[in-house]
């Protein structure tokens, strides 16, 4: 059944439903969303940018009258990219703030402990900023993924390094937690498909920049490329230390790193560093969704700069608004998730976002960018 037919069917069925008691987070004039993410600490740019994108989308929707007359609002709580704090803040969002849905969570170690909380109450968990494989489990019907997995990103890296650049010695630097190990698994699988193994691997501890030992370990292995599964501050520290020591392999970073924050941390030393991306190029206004995103950003804050992370937040929030529109004037969590999983593919200003329990997820959903000498980004042409 085509998208418009599905939309019409859902609207007819839900409009015919009798009025019912208000759902948590739903009032006569608003629908409340909650975000638990890093707003402080060495990964704060990720949570702050996700929040900006969500707020920009909500401002755009609200300026047009909201969804069925209700304005969309967001409460953000700071978890510092720490799992224990994330559990606490998630419980507060659910029990104290009584949000309708959770949106824009940041990180694998934090979502690993908060997704079960949301699942237990069938609370929508929308657009987590992580490509962790566990989020794609068939038992997580409440999780709304909009991004490619880390495995898909890893495949795109190894394809580029081995087929385009003909490199043979590839090492990995990763965060020593479920996030980093998910990336490690993806890289190993991509190499195994080509009959290859890692030249070396080294780790660092989450929420630190203690990377000197890891850098020395990888430098001794003399790899031609280092793929990196971390956040912007420690990854930038690693690259700067490496360059200072004369260690200059090809550096490739995962999208979660926060590309713009990484470029800012690196300054002139960022030239040539590759970062994979899972959302459209946020400066290309020939893409309608990007033009809408930039306009929404200016509506929220005239000083807001385009960014891959905030664009991902924007797409997540636009998707939430589209699903709410289809869920009808008496929205419930159950109806919202039913729409998500039945429709599966949403047109957001011309950008088709696949969601639901079996979203499309392949290396074709990933593209590579490279940091230029002035800190801007260009697409990697050959892949």
Q: What is the CATH number of the domain that holds 136?
A: 3.40.50.2300
Residues 6+ apart with CB under 8 A from 13: none
Cβ atoms of 285 and 119 within 8 Å: the answer is no
Say if residue 360's pLDDT is above 80. no
pLDDT at 11: 42
Q: Does any domain span residue 225?
A: yes
Cα 221 from Cα 12, distance rounded (Å): 63
Strand order across the 125-126 sheet: 71-78, 30-37, 101-103, 125-126, 143-144
Residues 249 and 372 in one domain: yes
Residues 71 and 210 in one domain: no
Residues 68 and 178 in one domain: no
Q: What share of the chain is helix, strand, coil (3-state, %, to 5)?
A: 45, 20, 35
Cβ atoms of 285 and 293 within 8 Å: the answer is no
Residues 34 and 127 in one domain: yes
Say if residue 310's pLDDT is above 70. yes
Q: Does any domain span residue 19?
A: no
Residues 260 and 374 in one domain: yes
Cα 266 from Cα 254, distance rounded (Å): 16
Residues 371 and 257 in one domain: yes
pLDDT at 8: 40
Cα 235 from Cα 250, distance rounded (Å): 13
Nearest of 208, 207, 218, 131 to residue 173 by alpha carbon? 218
pLDDT at 14: 41
Residues 6+ apart with CB under 8 A from 54: 33, 35, 74, 103, 104, 313, 314, 316, 317
pLDDT at 351: 82
Residues 247 and 270 in one domain: yes
Q: What is the pLDDT of residues 199-246, one digit of tens each?
A: 999 999 999 999 999 999 999 999 999 999 999 999 999 999 999 999
Q: Does any domain span residue 7?
A: no
Q: Would you place residue 382 in the very low, low, confident or very high pLDDT band (cuts 50, 70, 90)?
A: low
Residues 77 and 130 in one domain: yes
Q: What is the pLDDT of residues 174-187, one digit of tens each?
A: 999 999 999 999 99
DSSP per-residue letters across 318-341: HHHHHHHHHH-SS--HHHHHHHHH
pLDDT at 137: 86
Residues 248 and 258 in one domain: yes
The partner residues of 203 in beta bridges, in order of sequence, read 174
Average pLDDT estimate for 268-276: 97
Residues 143 and 155 in one domain: no
Residues 130 and 144 in one domain: yes
**What range defines the domain where residue 203 resides?**
150-277+367-379
- Lowest mean pLDDT segment, chosen from 4-8, 150-154, 165-169, 177-181: 4-8
- Split into its structural domains, the chain has a count of 2
Q: Would you place residue 13 in the very low, low, confident or very high pLDDT band (cuts 50, 70, 90)?
A: very low
pLDDT at 358: 56
Cα 40 from Cα 63, distance rounded (Å): 30
């Amino acid at each position: 059944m085509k998208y418009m037919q599905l939309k019409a069917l859902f609207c007819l069925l839900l409009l015919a439903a009798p009025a019912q008691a208000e759902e948590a987070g739903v009032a006569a004039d608003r629908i409340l969303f909650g975000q638990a993410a890093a707003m402080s600490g060495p990964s704060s740019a990720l949570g702050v940018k996700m929040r900006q994108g969500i707020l920009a989308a909500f401002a755009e929707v609200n300026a047009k009258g909201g969804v069925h007359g209700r304005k969309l609002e967001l409460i953000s709580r700071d978890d510092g990219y720490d799992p224990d704090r994330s559990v606490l803040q998630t419980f507060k969002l659910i029990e104290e703030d009584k949000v309708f849905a959770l949106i824009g969570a940041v990180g694998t170690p934090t979502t690993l402990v908060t997704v079960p909380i949301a699942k237990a109450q069938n609370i929508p968990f929308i657009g987590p900023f992580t490509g962790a494989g566990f989020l794609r489990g068939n038992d997580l019907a409440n999780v709304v993924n909009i991004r490619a997995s880390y495995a898909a990103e890893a495949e795109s890296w190894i394809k580029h390094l081995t087929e385009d650049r003909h490199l043979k010695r590839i090492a990995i630097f990763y965060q020593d937690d479920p996030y980093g190990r998910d990336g490690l698994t993806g890289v190993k699988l991509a190499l195994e498909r080509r009959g290859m193994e890692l030249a070396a691997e080294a780790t660092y501890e989450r929420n630190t920049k203690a990377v000197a030992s890891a850098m020395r370990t990888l430098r001794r292995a003399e790899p031609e490329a280092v793929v990196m599964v971390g956040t912007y501050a420690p990854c930038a520290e690693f690259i700067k230390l490496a360059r200072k020591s004369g260690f200059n392999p090809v550096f490739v970073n995962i999208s979660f790193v926060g590309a713009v924050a990484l470029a800012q941390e690196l300054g002139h030393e960022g030239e040539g560093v590759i970062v994979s991306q899972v959302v459209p190029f946020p400066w290309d206004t020939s893409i309608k969704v990007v033009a809408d995103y930039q306009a929404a950003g200016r509506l929220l804050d005239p000083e807001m700069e385009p960014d891959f992370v905030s664009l991902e937040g924007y797409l997540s929030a636009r998707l939430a608004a589209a699903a709410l529109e289809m869920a009808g004037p008496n929205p419930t969590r159950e109806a919202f998730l039913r729409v998500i999983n039945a429709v599966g593919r949403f047109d957001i200003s011309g950008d088709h976002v696949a969601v639901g329990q079996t979203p499309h997820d392949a290396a074709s959903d990933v593209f590579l960018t490279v940091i230029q000498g002035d800190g801007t980004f260009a697409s990697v042409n050959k892949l």
